[in-house]
Amino acid sequence: MGKTVNKSILLGHVGKDPEIHVLQGDNTVANFTLATNDFYRDKMGESHETTEWHNLVAFGRTAEVVRDYVQKGSRIYVEGKIRTRSWDDRETGQKKYRTEIVILDLTLLSFNNGNGNGAGCGSENGNGARQAQRSSGPQHSEPDYAYSEQGGDPSDIPF
């Protein structure tokens, strides 16, 4: 059988604060959304922007880093694999699907350290290794981005 590849690379802004769950055996899981933008020009030459929302999931040490450093508006870079889960809805019995990116490598490009300043960046790989760095440039506060449970309204996002 030939080689196959399942890899996703995303750079964007977190849509809402991550949901953190601790499973049996103290396994930590983080679920959150990431917005990426695409720019294009129509036939009339006018610029347009579309926003795509991605469901992300992190496990173990990476989920702990997400819990401690990632929040709504954070800018992150992730590498991961695409996974689609399915289950039967408890109320209707209907088959449901969810496609998500399982994070294998996470790089924090900005995060809010509690005082309103984007304070630094670092990276986390799926093996639990963490390298923190301080940005040497000016520090800026991350804006408060609009989000709805259906994935967000692209017209509300200022980036």
Condensed to tens digits (0 to 9), the pLDDT of residues 126-141 reads 544 343 333 333 333 3
pLDDT in the model for residue 110? 81
Condensed to tens digits (0 to 9), the pLDDT of residues 99-129 reads 999 999 999 998 555 444 444 455 555 544 3
**Confidence class of residue 73 from pLDDT cuts 50, 70 and 90?**
very high
pLDDT at 81 over 70: yes
pLDDT in the model for residue 5? 96
pLDDT in the model for residue 125? 56
Condensed to tens digits (0 to 9), the pLDDT of residues 34-58 reads 999 999 999 999 999 999 999 999 9
pLDDT in the model for residue 126? 53
**Confidence class of residue 87 from pLDDT cuts 50, 70 and 90?**
very high
Question: In terms of Cα–Cα distance, which of 122, 114, 34, 38 is closest to 74?
Answer: 34
The mean pLDDT of 4-21, rounded to a whole number, is 96
pLDDT in the model for residue 42? 92
pLDDT in the model for residue 123? 54
pLDDT in the model for residue 112? 57
**Residue 13 burial (CB < 10 Å; 0-12/13-18/19+)?**
buried
Cα–Cα distance measured from residue 66 to residue 29, given in angstroms and rounded to the nearest whole number: 9
Cα–Cα distance measured from residue 8 to residue 10, given in angstroms and rounded to the nearest whole number: 7
Name the residue ranges covered by the structural domains of the chain: 8-40+47-156
The mean pLDDT of 62-81, rounded to a whole number, is 96
The yes/no answer on whether domain 8-40+47-156 falls in CATH 1.10.3720.10 is no
